[in-house]
Amino acid sequence: MKPTVFIDRKLPREVEDYIAEHCIIDKWEGNESIPRQLLFEKLANTNGLLTAGTAIDAELLERAPHLKVVSSMSVGYNHFDLAAMKAKGIMGTNTPHVLNDTVADLALALMLGAARRVAELDRYVKDGSWKKGDGTKLFGIDVHHAKLGIIGMGRIGEAVARRARFGFDMEVSYYNRSRKPEAEEKLGVRYSELNELLAASDFVVMLAPLTAETNKLIGKKEFEMMKPSSIFINISRGQTVDEQALVEALQAGTIAAAGLDVYEKEPIETNHPFLQMANVLTLPHIGSATTQTRNDMAMLAAQNLVSALTGQTPPNLVDELSV
């Protein structure tokens, strides 16, 4: 008999057809996230779950006694309770590589947008404020030839470094848990300790995954090390930064601006101070959100799911859950 799977988000037709060749599908078709109690009911007799950000914790696993694999359509897997999954022998997979260039493109868009005040000045033109002689009022900060510091020199970090080095002639340093000699040679990037990187960089891009070690890695002390002219970009996960400290650093002029794709709470509260700040560029967590890349991620997630349920080791089993 075919294994049973539950899909908690919309997938392209060809991806669903591929899964259906191997599995019996049940799915959630709502636009909002599936209510948790309903998800528990759906998982009572299910072998595989295809999701993106749904929290996979001990409570959910308790309600899913036949579950073998959770395939996430994301590269980050901070929504997996790895200890609970390991204890139950549940496989967990993600979708690395296929989104590197798309997310890196958005990191550059945030850098350029924050430095040249693109969203702010778009509003300025559209609301009729543009007058002759505005002059220095509209000035921004150069991206080309500036110093970029990347925190987390992984797959996406390298793609950002490549764009910055070879597209914008930037001087790139990185801080990472482990040294990356190959990236240093190939991309001409330099390893820095975190404090040194923060003090020297014109742009700091956060690209480390959210883990116990990176939770609020950047806070008040770290913003105070940065230059008053510097720009902070977060495209990893909101919780890697102390958001209140970021608000205060931007309000006090400790740093000049920020470009953000991710937040502590998503969607962001409508009364969040960021929404009133002209020096903060706010995007709605769209790092990988192009049609092509999301289709590629969906197909990779489907392949991971099917291979796990047909007796193979899925190609993107997350490291912490491999034996």
Question: Residue 75 Cβ, how far from ligand NAP at the closest point, in Å?
Answer: 4
Helix (H) or strand (E) holding 25, with range, is: strand 24-27
Query: Between residues 64 and 268, which has the closer beta carbon with respect to ligand NAP?
Result: 268
Tell the smallest beta-carbon distance from residue 101 to ligand NAP (Å).
11
43/159 with CB nearer ligand NAP: 159
What CA–CA distances, in Å, run from 145 to 37, 106, 232, 321?
Answer: 53, 19, 17, 42
Helix (H) or strand (E) holding 40: helix 36-43
CB of 153 to ligand NAP, least distance (A): 5
Catalytic machinery residues: 237, 266, 285
Closer by beta carbon to ligand NAP, 226 or else 318: 318
Of 42 and 294, the one with the shorter C-beta distance to ligand NAP is 294
**Least spacing, CB of residue 123 vs ligand NAP, in Å:** 23
Is residue 27 within 8 A of residue 7, CB to CB? The reply is yes
**Binding region for ligand NAP (CB under 6 A):** 75-76, 96, 99, 103, 152-157, 176-178, 207-211, 213-214, 235-237, 261-262, 285, 287-288
Which residues are bridge partners to 218 per DSSP? 241
How far, CA to CA in Å, does 115 sit from each of 126, 135, 141, 316? 20, 16, 5, 36
Sign, Cα dihedral of 218, 237, 288, 285: negative
Q: Residue 200 or residue 309: which is nearer to ligand NAP going by CB?
A: 200
Measured from the CB atom, the residue of 210 and 309 that comes closer to ligand NAP is 210
Shorter beta-carbon distance to ligand NAP: residue 79 or 117: 79
**Shortest gap between Cβ of 41 and ligand NAP (angstroms)?**
30
Report the alpha-carbon distance of residue 131 to residue 201 in Å, rounded: 34
List, as one string, the DSSP characters of 145-206. T-EEEEE--SHHHHHHHHIIIIIH--EEEEE-SS--HHHHHHH--EE--HHHHHHH-SEEEE
Q: How far is CA 263 from CA 230, 233, 272, in A?
A: 20, 12, 10
What Rg do the C-alpha atoms of the chain give, in angstroms? 21
Minimum Å gap between C-beta 100 and ligand NAP is 7
DSSP state of 120: H
Shortest Å distance, C-beta 34 to ligand NAP:
21
Give the number of other CB atoms < 10 A from CB of residue 268.
Answer: 18
H/E element, 84: helix 82-88
State the residue number with the nearest CB to ligand NAP. 154
Evaluate whether 275 touches 258 at the Cβ level (below 8 Å).
Answer: no
